[in-house]
Amino acid sequence: MASGLNRTAVNNCLQALKNYAAEDKGMKHTAFTSEVKDLTKKIHTVLQATAQMKEYDDVPEMLVDLQYSLAKSYSSTPELRETWLEHMAAVHEGHENFSKTAHCYIHAAALVAEYLKRQGTYTPGCAAFAQVSPNVVADESVMKTDEGMSMEQRYTVRHLVDLLEQCAKYLERAERCEVMGEVFKLAIPIYEQERDFRRLSNAYESLAQAYKKVVDVMGTGKRLLGKYFRVAFFGQMFGDDDGKEFIYKEPKITGLAEISHRLEQIYCRKHGRDNIKLIMESAKVHAETLDSKIGYIQITYVQPYFDDEELELRPTLFERNNNIRRFIYETPFTCGGKAHGSLTEQCKRKTILTTSNTFPYIKTRILVVQEEQYELTPVEVAFDEMQNKVKELNNVITQNPPDMKKLQLVLQGSVSVQVNAGPLAYAQGFLDKSVLASHPHKHIEKLQQVYREFIACCGKALEINDQLIKEDQRMYQEDMKEKYVQLKTRLAKYIGDEISTTVTASSSVSSLVM
């Protein structure tokens, strides 16, 4: 529709209309001027997004962003907003992004709930969805309904329930079964009120199956909830994206090479292969040093970030991949300017990014709105690396039931003489008597303590493995014990402790394998 319009003429008309409203003396002290300004902005957004949708038909992230802007522009027309949310759901479903599909329906259901609240037929409104997603209330509570608009025939509690059932269906396909409980908490009271026992039966049956799946995946630890990447754009050819950073949520086990290839192919088709370059390093990009004729895309793998307090509130893998908006990545550097150096000169910069909304969301990518950085000195890098090793060990020794394959992989990577150069090298580089005075005492104490934890975790892992293995792996177990004793002996002189060389079973370990 927009392609048949003279966009320049329309934009000029909209600007003239806005100017007339601003200059009208009789309207200066009324809401008319701001209403005209809002209206012209919405019309401009609709025309621009509609015109660009065909251009970005093969770029799912951009297509969804344009549909998102259209849905947002129709906040005063709920029926049209819902239509565009459903269009977004269809795009996501076509790419098998079922989590985003589900959240499009979650927002559509919340939109209906808020409309019904204002009609006096559903008291909670969109606030009822706060436990489903933190994004919902912020997006759907701003609804404005046009005067005289009547949607009583379509916008009913029955329509709300239909949308909630769509939410549950796609949440199940997305392997986000825990959220299904929150969705059915909204639907079940309506079923009960309407004495709809068939749907009540179906709901409880779906919930039973969902929670069985949760039990299964928590036992195996095998669930693919997606990967996250920071994508930054540099170059005028990217339009409004120039200079912006986004977090992209990619499905299942997407790797850095896979998303890099996909984005490169998309933008090369659009702008030409010679006009697009990828930046694979995570270091800060100085845009002023780049070729203005080239479009640059920097892609960095990031992980969800939580402080210690938040980690305690999110004990499960699912909770650490749901309703998240902070991400972290690391950049190695040395004081000499090189990215990598010896252990005693290797520094690290940690960058924490905050997005405007939480994942999962109705969009594939979310804009980064805040960035924090802090740097680690070489001795702090050593502590950080050893702390990560302890966390990795703790994860496998506390898993119930134990995963023997994963346990043995982590154990071998920790105690095997062939691969333990990392732990020993850090100890030699920072805890040898000849260099202790070169580092702050508090850092030395922390590093020594984390080594004690590391040794204890290795011992527990060995004992769990001893109780899990069959007779044909007994020789392997004895070899690992011998290497563990060697490792402890070599580390003892660095941490100032007399370490027992006997591996004994503990009641807490035994309970894990019962």
Please give the pLDDT value at position 148. Answer: 46
Residues in the chain: 514
Q: Which of 72, 186, 210 is nearest to 130 (CA)?
A: 186
Query: Are the C-beta atoms of 47 and 2 separated by less than 8 Å?
Result: yes
- SS3 for 258? helix
The whole-model pTM stands at 0.83
Q: Are 455 and 389 a contacting pair, CB within 8 Å?
A: no
**DSSP code at position 32:** H
221 neighbors 321 (Cβ within 8 angstroms) = no
* Confidence (pLDDT) at 337: 85
Evaluate whether 60 touches 95 at the Cβ level (below 8 Å): yes
What local confidence, expressed as pLDDT, does residue 42 receive? 62
Phi, psi at 499, each rounded to 5°: -100, 130
What are the CA-CA distances from residue 396 to residues 61, 166, 474 (Å)?
A: 36, 36, 20
Run of H or E residues at 325: strand 324-334
Q: Output the DSSP codes for 96-140.
A: T-HHHHHHHHHHHHHHHHHHHHHTTS-TTGGGGGTTT-THHHHHH
pLDDT in tens, the chain (514 residues): 444 555 566 556 656 665 665 666 666 666 666 666 666 666 656 666 666 677 777 778 888 998 898 888 887 788 889 999 999 999 999 999 999 999 999 999 999 999 999 989 999 999 999 999 999 999 999 887 654 455 556 789 999 999 999 999 999 999 999 999 999 999 999 999 999 999 999 999 999 999 999 998 887 767 889 999 999 999 999 988 999 999 999 988 899 999 999 999 999 998 999 999 999 999 899 999 999 899 999 999 999 999 989 988 998 889 999 999 999 999 999 988 898 999 899 999 999 999 999 999 999 999 999 999 999 999 999 999 999 999 999 988 988 778 888 899 999 889 875 555 678 899 999 999 999 999 999 999 999 999 999 999 999 999 999 999 888 889 989 999 999 999 999 899 898 755 444 444 333 333 333 3
pLDDT score at 444 = 94
CB 428 within 8 A of CB 494: yes
Instruction: Give dist(CA 243, CA 229) in Å, integer.
Output: 16
**82-94 burial code (b ≥16 CB/10 A, e <16):** bebbbbbbebbbe
Give residue for tokens 């702090």.
Answer: 380
Residue type, 293: K
Distance, in Å, from the CA atom of 300 to the CA atom of 298, rounded to the nearest integer, reads 7
